[in-house]
């Protein structure tokens, strides 16, 4: 009896989760391989010239592999508005693009 109720609760939760799959949610949900892949290609196009190829090369900007993993808000803000000599990206990249870049920076490349 108890088991049955639990299963039902899980099913409802799953349905709710997939129904509200907006871009906003995507940012807080666990990263998907698609998002990381999108972030990787955006990174290669827009960021690697300063931050190193696949974040591995010697960066001319800052080393993104050491960016604090718990500070997504700062990442989004710095990328959208720029920081010191880094140009702002808010006019070039959509919030979804920046969200994908965040997944790439956090989960996209193996740490050395």
* Positions that interact with ligand HEC (CB under 6 A): 46-47, 49-51, 61-62, 64, 67, 74-75, 78-79, 83-87, 89, 101
Among 100, 4, 36, 54, residue whose Cα is nearest residue 64:
54
Among 38, 43, 37, residue whose Cα is nearest residue 55:
43
**Closer to ligand HEC by Cβ: residue 32 or 45:** 45
The distance of closest approach from Cβ of residue 33 to ligand HEC in the complex, given in angstroms and rounded to an integer, is 19
**Closer to ligand HEC by Cβ: residue 40 or 79:** 79
* First-to-last C-alpha distance (Å) of the chain: 50
Query: Would you give the DSSP letter of residue 19?
Result: H
**Closer to ligand HEC by Cβ: residue 8 or 81:** 81
């Amino acid at each position: 009896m108890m088991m049955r109720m639990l299963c039902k609760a899980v099913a409802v939760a799953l349905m709710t989760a997939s129904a509200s799959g907006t871009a906003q949610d995507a940012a807080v949900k666990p990263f998907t391989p698609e998002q990381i892949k999108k972030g990787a290609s955006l990174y290669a196009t827009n960021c690697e010239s300063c931050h190193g190829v696949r974040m591995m090369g010697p960066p001319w900007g800052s080393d993104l592999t050491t960016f604090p993993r718990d500070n997504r808000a700062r990442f989004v803000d710095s990328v959208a508005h720029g920081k010191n000599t880094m140009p702002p990206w808010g006019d070039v990249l959509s919030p979804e693009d920046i969200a994908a870049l965040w997944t790439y920076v956090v989960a996209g490349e193996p740490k050395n």
